[in-house]
Amino acid sequence: MKSRRSIPDKILLFDPSDIVVKALYNLFRHLGFQQPLTAATVDQARGVMESNQDLTLYIFGQQKTPEDDQKLFVQSQMLCPDAIGIYLYSTGGDESLIQQTSNEFLVWMMNQGSIFKAVPKPWDNSQLAQLVMEMLKERYLQNQQQRRQQQDRQKLRAQKEMITQLQAERQLLQESRDSLEASLSQAETRSNQSLTDTILFMLQLANLDLMRHSRRVGFWCQKVAEELKRPQDYPPELLNIVGILHDVGKINLPPDTFGLPIHQLNPVQQEVYNAHPTRAIWLLRRLPDQIRQKVRHPIREHHEKMDGSGPLKRFRQQIDPWARLISIVNHYDHLRHTTKFGSPTGKEHAMEKLEAEAYSHAKREGQYDPALLNVFLELLQESNELEEKELEPRQVTVEQLRAGDQLAEDLYTTTDLLVLTRGTTISTESRVKLSQYLDEGQEIDQVWIENDYHDLFKS
C-alpha cells in the first residue's frame, strides 16, 4: 500500500494477542498515524485511556469472556465518551457478531453508536484501512459541523449581546435626548417668561391700561391654544407672548389718541393709530430671532378680518392663523374693558357682538375664524362673572398688604435696597420685616400684587 500523509489523531490498539496488536500497529503506522497507542490487557487499556481522553478511535479485540468485553466498553464510554471504535471479533466460522455472542450489552453498545463497526478476524488490511479512513472522514465532518454550529451559536449570542447593548445605548441616548430637550424647554420657558415679565413691566410703567389689555389678550390666547391641543400649530406659551406684544406699538401714542374711541379719531390720528402694528415690529426688532420671526406676521395682521375688511385687505387663509385668534380676543377685550368702541360692556353683550360679526348674510362671509371663535366663546361661557380686569396686578401700599398676597414685582426701597422678590407670598413675618424698614425711615413704593387667575373658571 502507498504511504499516507501524517495523521495526528490518536488511536488505541488493544487485543489479548501480541501478534494482533503488532500487526495493527504496523498497519496504522503505515497509514500515517504518528504514534498509535497499544495495550495488551484491560488494565493497560484503561490506563492509556485515562492518560489520553482525547482519543479519536480505538480498536478492541474480543476478550476471553463477555464480562471482559462489557468491562472494557463501560470504561471506554466513561473515559473517552467522544471516541468511536472498531470491534475485532473471532468468527469461528460465523461472521455475525450477534450470533457469536449472547452479550446483550454489546448489542446495545452498537445500537448506541459506541461501536463504529464490527470487523471479523482475520481482517483485510485494505478494507480495514478504508474503514478507518471513512471513520476519520465522518468524524471530521461531524466535528466540522459541530464547530460551525458552535460558531453560529457564538455569533448568535454575540449578535444578541450586541442588540441588547445597542438597545441599552439607544435607551440611554433617548433618555439623554429627553433630558436635554426638557432642559432646553425649561430654559426656553424661563427665557420666555423673563421676556414677557420685562415687557409687561415696561408697559406697566408706560401705560397701565395698555399693559392690562395686553396681558388679558395674552392670557386668553394662551387659554384658547391650550384648549385646541395642537401645540405644533398653536403653542400656548408663544401665543401668550404674541398676545402680550400685539399692541406694543401703541406705547408711544399720544394720550389724546390712545384713549379716544375709533370713530372719534381725526384723519391724522387715525393714520398714527393704524401704524401701531408696523411700529410694534420695529420696536421688537432686537428680540431673539426665533421669537421675532414667529411674532412678526401675527402682530402685523392682528386687525385683519376673514371677509377682507381689515386695513391690509387680507382674506381668509391669507391671514396668519395666530393673527386670526388675536383679532377675536383683541376685539372682545376692547368691547369689555376699553373705550375703543364706546363704553365698556358686559360679557354677554360682548359675546353677542362677536357672534353677530361672525357671519354676514350679505357678504356670505364672517369677520372671524369660526373654529377659533367657537373655542373662545365656549371658554367664556365656562368663566364666572369675576371681572377679568380685577385679575390684573394691582398697586397697593405697604400698609394694604395682607397675608397671602403674592408680589407681582420685586420690592425695593427708594434707596434701591431689595426687600422681597417677585413671587413672594406675604406672611406675618414678612409684614413685620416691612414694618421694620418703615420704622427705620425707608420708603417703599411701587408695590404690585398678583390676583389669582384660577378663580376665573368655575370648578
Residue 162 covered by a domain: no
- Residue 183: per-residue pLDDT: 62
Distance CA 239, CA 218 (A): 7
C-alpha 146: how far from chain center:
42
pLDDT of residue 349: 85
**Of 123, 158, 180, which residue sits at a domain end?**
123
Q: Give the end of a domain, one of 92, 123, 154.
A: 123
| Cell matching residue 132 | 478507518
CATH number of domain containing 64: 3.40.50.2300
Is 270 inside a domain boundary?
yes
Closest CA to 220 of 377, 409, 442: 377
CB 106 within 8 A of CB 118: no
Which residue has cell 499516507?
4
CATH code at 343?
1.10.3210.10
Is the confidence at residue 47, as pLDDT, over 60?
yes
Q: Is 356 found in the same domain as 402?
A: no
DSSP result, 151-205 = HHHHHHHHHHHHHHHHHHHHHHHHHHHHHHHHHHHHHHHHHHHHHHHHHHHHHHH
- Is the Cβ–Cβ distance between 403 and 427 less than 8 Å? yes
- Please state whether the peptide bond connecting residue 122 to the residue before it is cis, i.e. omega within 30 degrees of 0: yes
Please give the DSSP secondary-structure letter assigned to residue 24.
Answer: H
Domain span holding position 419: 393-459
In a shared domain, residues 325 and 211: yes
Place of cell 398688604: 401
pLDDT at 101 over 70: no
Strands (E), 280-398: 394-396
| Residues 225, 349 within the same domain | yes
With respect to residue 285, please indicate whether it lies within any of the assigned structural domains.
yes
Instruction: Report the distance separating Cα 44 and Cα 48, nearest Å.
Output: 6
Residue 294 has pLDDT above 70, yes or no: yes
Residue 317, C-alpha cell as written in the block: 387663509
Tell me whether residue 369 is in a domain. Answer: yes
Examine the domain organization and report whether 237 and 351 are in the same domain.
yes
Enter the pTM of the model. 0.54
Task: Report the alpha-carbon distance of residue 232 to residue 282 in Å, rounded.
Answer: 27
Q: What is the pLDDT of residues 323-351, one digit of tens each?
A: 999 999 999 988 888 777 777 778 888 88
Whether residues 364 and 445 share a domain: the answer is no
User: How many domains is the chain built from?
Assistant: 3
pLDDT band at 408 (very low <50, low <70, confident <90, very high): confident
177, three cell numbers: 435626548
- Judge if 444 and 356 occupy the same domain: no
Residues 230 and 353 in one domain: yes
Task: Tell me which DSSP letter residue 457 carries.
Answer: B
Residues 375 and 406 in one domain: no
Among 90, 123, 156, identify where a domain stops: 123
Whether the per-residue pLDDT at 138 is higher than 70: the answer is: yes
Q: What is the mean pLDDT of residues 41-47?
A: 87
- 256 and 379 share a domain? yes
- State how far the alpha carbon of 170 is from the alpha carbons of 162, 249, 453, in Å: 12, 49, 42
- Write b or e for each residue in 111-127: b if 16 or more Cβ atoms lie within 10 A of its Cβ, otherwise e: eeebbbbbbbeebeeee
pLDDT value at residue 57: 86
CA 103 – CA 99 distance, rounded (Å): 10
Q: What is the pLDDT of residue 220?
A: 92
Burial class (CB in 10 A: 0-12, 13-18, 19+), 370: exposed
Residue linked to cell 446483550:
104
CATH code of residue 438: 3.90.105.10
Give which of 108, 38, 40 is closest to 73, Cα–Cα: 108
pLDDT higher than threshold 60 for residue 311 = yes
Q: 380 in a domain, yes or no?
A: yes
Backbone angles phi, psi at 166, to 5 degrees: -65, -40
Query: What's the pLDDT at 192?
Result: 64
Half-sphere exposure of 210 (CA within 13 A, CB side): 24
Residue 94 pLDDT class (50, 70, 90 cuts): very low
Q: Are 456 and 386 in contact (CB under 8 A)?
A: yes
Residues in the chain: 459
Mean per-residue pLDDT over the chain, rounded: 80
Distances (CA, A) of 39 to 22, 60, 87, 329, 432: 10, 9, 15, 107, 109
Please check whether residue 168 lies inside any domain of the structure. no
pLDDT at 389: 46
